[in-house]
Amino acid sequence: MANPLKLYLTCVRNTLEAALCLQNFPCQEVERHNKPEVELKTSPELLLNPVLICRNEAEKCLIETSINSLRISLKVKQADELENILAKKFLRFLSMRAEAFQVLRRKPVQGYDISFLITNYHCEEMQKQKLIDFIVQFMEDIDKEISELKMSVSTRGRLVASEFLKQFL
């Protein structure tokens, strides 16, 4: 792993370890309701300060915490048009299948490519460390996958172009 990426991911990991201290908290507005406060933002006393971690202008991570839920929004690196469409396709593909991931949000927060919503219930069902490992590994794998996809598309294009030009020989 390159140094800048490692530092970025370590920073995200440490912030998540501090932020993932969630507890059950029923809704103060509506009786017998239990809602993730980070989504509603109705009670400012239940929200913590959001933390924005920027690797560079193109890559950043926003962590918003509340008493019973945590939202992580990621902006993924997109160097050119091809990476742009590949990232868009892939992250949209994952978001449409959010129920398989449980902690994934169907729609990303505005200005970001993908968002996670972790509630206190998730923390009860899953191990906190493993959840943080998943988020960090997800960030790493996304970058790797988009780079590999781009390389595969270019390789396919090259092979197809060679086959087409062979017709003229």
Partner 1 sequence: MFKVCLYRVRVKIFRGVPFHGSAEKPIEVDHHLYEFGSVEYYIKSSVSEPFTYLSISTPLLSRGVFPSHRLSPCTLRTIREISSDVLDIVEPPTDGYQLTLRLDFSKLPHNKESLKVITEVSSVQAVILSSQLKERLQNVNSWDMSQGMYVIREPFYVIRQPRKIVAVFPMRFKDHSDVIIATSFFQELMDVRSSGKWSKIPPCNWSPIPPPELRGELFEDLSTNGGFVSFDISSHHVEVKRLDKTVWSLLNFHGYVKHHVKCTRGFIQRRMRRRMDSLVQVLEKSMIENNEEIKRVKGWKKVKKWMKLTSKSKMIKGKYHDFTKKMKRIRFRVKIHGFGCFRRRWLTIACFSSSVGYSKLKKH
Judged by the rule CB under 8 A, the positions of this chain that interact with partner 1 are 81-82, 84-86, 89-90, 93-94, 97, 100-103, 125-127, 130-131, 133-134, 137-138, 141, 145, 149, 152-154, 156-158, 160-162, 164-165, 167-169
Task: Write the DSSP symbol of residue 108.
Answer: P
Residue type, 127: Q
Shortest distance, position 16 Cβ to partner 1, whole Å: 13
Question: Which one, 43 or 95, has the nearer CB to partner 1?
Answer: 95
The rounded distance, in Å, linking the Cα atoms of 6 and 10 is 6
Task: Kindly tell me which of 2 and 100 has the beta carbon lying closer to partner 1.
Answer: 100
- Identify which of residues 35 and 77 has a Cβ nearer to partner 1 in the complex: 77
Residue 109 beta carbon to partner 1: minimum distance, rounded to whole angstroms: 20
Specify whether the CB–CB gap between 99 and 108 falls below 8 A: no
Name every residue whose Cβ is closer than 8 Å to that of residue 5 and which is 6 or more positions away in sequence: 55, 140, 143
Residue 70: its H or E element: strand 69-75
